[in-house]
Structure 1
Amino acid sequence: MHEIEKHMIAEFSILELHLTTEGHVFGAFVCHLLGMNRIRCAMQRLKVDLQRPMVKGKVCPPNCPCDSPDWKSQTFSLTYLEEVEFDGFEGEDHELDLLKLILRCAPMLKRMIMKLSKEAWTGYSRCTKIYDIFKAYTSVECYIYLSTGLMHGSRNCPLT
């Protein structure tokens, strides 16, 4: 975090993250970034593009430093955040925890766009969990797209 903070020289309003997971979880890392003062006080739009390895099966080893247990309960104010987009969202537990954290910390959030990976939209329970989270935030317009680009549903057009 200190290295990132040291190299931030320009004001910005959009933060776009392209993450390659290689089997690791990314929620704690994104939480740390969003909690940085210069980021959370300037960011109006967040886009997270998730790239997964072609070969599945890699997972975090036990006690991996990429998933510190306390990040899920963090609270900070993303006062200016109005739009969030996830591309490649699978609906895994740590992704759902990050989604909840963003929704909880962004009082001015207007729009959430979720582009699901094939793994998410072929698993009914994953889609249901995503919709259940969105139901608690009725002031946010939520749009969910399949990896094919077709709209899967929105707050006004729920999953059937």
Structure 2
Amino acid sequence: MRDTQRAKVYAAEEFVRTLFDRAAQHGTGAIDFFGTALTLPPEARFGSVESVRRYVTDVLNMPAVRERWPGAAPLEVRSRRGETAAHYESGTIAVPDRHGTWALRELVVLHEMAHHLTAAGAPHGAEFVATMTELAGSVMGPEARHVLRVIYSKEGVAG
């Protein structure tokens, strides 16, 4: 199946990560979100592949995640040589193993986990978008869910 939304999803999520970066720079988590004051939750940053592995296991064991995706298989996490991206393929997330790379952050790991939890369809299609939004909301909170929904919509992402 063709991945027609990939560029739009990546653009939307890049914008969302920028919002989280700005909120962290302020130290309070507060941002102006299209004219409304919004406080974003802190976003986890990871220092190693092992810390990503523990996080993924903890998320998959969260009651809300187990209830929503009861058939979710375990998810492996391995090191990836390059610094430029994280990647999901057949039950495995590959993340850069160098501390400080942009991919070692919660929103990127949740994106890769959403691929694992999405059963069918295009890799960045409507089901993926719904899964990513719901997963981020379950793990990070309703503010993260809201921001993703709004930004996906503004970027023209169907979901």
Do they superpose with TM above 0.5? no
Task: Identify, as 1 or 2, the structure richer in strand.
Answer: 1
TM-score by length of 1: 0.27
